[in-house]
Structure 1
């Protein structure tokens, strides 16, 4: 992954105008996070339930794991947070792991099902 150059907001008479955080940019960064046991990114696996972006640049993500006993339970939320922090304009990130509704294979994208031969 190439490093992104820092993005600075435009200066206005009221002060610096921070860049608006894009949901597409957030999703693109989440797609760089993979479950180490499954060769598909966690977004395509359907592990991301909600993304909230505030005007202040704060981002909240609700995600789940494939099972409560997932060996990556500590690592994946931290990797998601670190990836989102790289998006220009993001000030703070909160990643919450939720268990309701429980994850099942129906949440996977068609691309993920094809990659895992789960038709």
Structure 2
């Protein structure tokens, strides 16, 4: 009788190293998506509110827009999903638009504020 574990790779929790590497890849991909009205990526703008990664490598992202009436509201979640799904090994990505709390410029990184001369 074999005493080897019988769990599948999909059920194994992600190691800290795997999660750290995936986090870096996710940030890189999120930084590749830009708000078309502001020359700064959505990550530095503070539009990403939450990113959850399951042990099965399903990604769930909550994001917002600089304004609810943003002309690309219907398209930007798809841009984010497409960028994230370029990461090898991900099973899925679901991007949800949320407006609570509303976005304001205080959510921007110092890098974004420098790019927009907001200091």
* 1:85 is the counterpart of 2:85: yes
Structure 1 residues 108-117 or 19-28, which shifts more?
19-28
| 1:4-23 matched pairs, under 5 angstroms | 17=9, 20=18, 22-23=22-23
Compute the TM-score of the two structures, normalised by the length of structure 2: 0.83
User: 1:27: which partner in 2?
Assistant: 27
Mind listing any 5+ residue stretches in structure 1 that lack a counterpart? 1-12
Q: Does 1:72 align with 2:72?
A: yes
1:14, CA displacement in angstroms? 6.6
How much does 1:27 deviate?
Answer: 1.1
Q: 1:7 maps to what in 2?
A: none
Looking at structure 2, the residues matched to 70 and 41 of structure 1 have their Cα atoms a distance apart, in angstroms, of 15
State the shift of 1:16 in Å: 8.4
- Which protein has the bigger helix share? 2
Which residue of the partner structure matches residue 59 of structure 1?
Answer: 59
Equivalent position of 2:107 in the other structure: 107
- Displacement of 1:114 after TM fit? 0.5
- TM (normalized to structure 1)? 0.83
Q: Could you tell me how far 1:74 is from its partner in structure 2?
A: 1.2
* Higher percent of residues as strand: 1
Count of aligned pairs between the two proteins: 107
Structure 2 residues not aligned, in runs of 5+:
none
Q: How far off its partner does 1:15 sit?
A: 9.6
* TM-align CA RMSD: 1.9
Structure of greater Rg: 2
* 2: CA distance, partners of 1:109 / 1:116: 11
Q: Per the alignment, in what secondary structure is the counterpart of residue 81 of structure 2?
A: helix
Identify the residue that residue 5 of structure 1 maps to in structure 2.
none
